[in-house]
Amino acid sequence: MQEGEQAFKSRATSPQPGQYASVFPTKLRPDLKRNRALTHAYLAHAQLGQHETELAVATAYKIPAQARHGRTARLLNAFGRRLNGLAPDAPITRDWFEKELL
């Protein structure tokens, strides 16, 4: 095997778990926490649009309480309304509203 082929094959393999742990830190810079909350809120809306109610609620629960203000709070309120409209009698909907109203 030639040197170029070997280099190509080594790049073409899938990354191993934890391979990029040192390159991509798990802690998010403080100035980006709001972006993560908004991204989770938008993702939850998209999942709800695909009728993945349980996955959408699980994604919305990933948003920490301290990030639930402003635009994120409005998105989560709209999310609750859409969830109630899509699956009003589902246990996950009742669970969402019980936890959100506490």
pLDDT of residue 102: 58
| Residue pLDDT tens, the chain, 102 long | 555 555 545 554 554 555 544 444 457 677 788 889 999 999 999 999 999 999 999 999 999 988 888 999 999 999 999 999 999 999 999 999 998 875
∠ CA 48-32-20 to the nearest 5 degrees? 90
Cβ burial, residue 68 (10 Å; 0-12/13-18/19+): middle
Residue in this structure with the two tokens 């709001």, named with its chain if needed: 34
Q: What is the dihedral of CA 54, 55, 56, 61, to 10 degrees?
A: 90
48-57 exposure pattern, b = at least 16 Cβ within 10 A, e = fewer: beeeebeebb
- Residues 83 and 96 sit within 8 Å (Cβ to Cβ): yes
Strand runs (DSSP E) across the chain, as ranges? none
| Nearest Cα residue to 57 out of 84, 36, 33 | 84
Q: What residue segments make up the domains of the chain, in order of their start?
A: 29-100
